[in-house]
Amino acid sequence: GPNTTETKAKTDSLFAGHMANIGNLVKANKLIVAGPMGKNDKNYRGIFILNTKSIDEAKELLKTDPAISAKLLDVELFNWYGSAALAAYLTASEKVGKFKF
C-alpha cells in the first residue's frame, strides 16, 4: 500500500493484526487460500481467495484487516470461480503444513 508507519513497532503491530485477521477469516470459513507471493512486476505481496458471494462482501470482510485499513497493504479484487472442492484445501493444509494461523 501507499502508506508507511513511523516505527517498526507500529508496522509489526499492524502485521500481527493482519495475521490474526487471517485466522479469523479462516475460522469464519471466508478465507480459503492465503499466502505470500514471490517478486513480481506489480509488487504484489500476497493473495487471498475468499469465499464470498460478491466483491462488496469481500470489501466488507477486508475492512477488518488493520494492515489494509492503515493502507500498508493495498487490495485489488477480482471475481473468480473455482471448484467447490477448494474449500477442502484448508483441512488438508492443516494436516501437512508447517505453519498455523
DSSP characters over 49-97: EE--SSHHHHHHHHTT-HHHHTTSS----------GGGGHHHHHHHHH-
Residue 80 has pLDDT above 80, yes or no: yes
The pLDDT of residue 93 is: 67
Q: What is the pLDDT of residues 25-64, one digit of tens each?
A: 999 999 998 889 999 998 898 999 999 999 999 999 999 9
Burial class (CB within 10 angstroms; exposed 0-12, middle 13-18, buried 19+) of 99: exposed
The pLDDT of residue 61 is: 96
The pLDDT of residue 51 is: 92
Number of helical H runs and strand E runs in the chain:
4, 2
The Cα 50–Cα 47 span in angstroms is 10
CB 50 within 8 A of CB 59: no
CB 14 within 8 A of CB 26: no
The pLDDT-based confidence of 96 (bands split at 50, 70, 90) is: low
| pLDDT higher at 97 or 43 | 43
Residues sharing a CB contact under 8 Å with residue 13, sequence separation 6 or more, in sequence order: 66
In the chain, the domains with their CATH numbers are 8-94 (3.30.70.1060)
- pTM of the full structure: 0.78
The pLDDT-based confidence of 1 (bands split at 50, 70, 90) is: low
Q: Cell numbers of 20, please?
A: 490474526
| pLDDT higher at 100 or 27 | 27
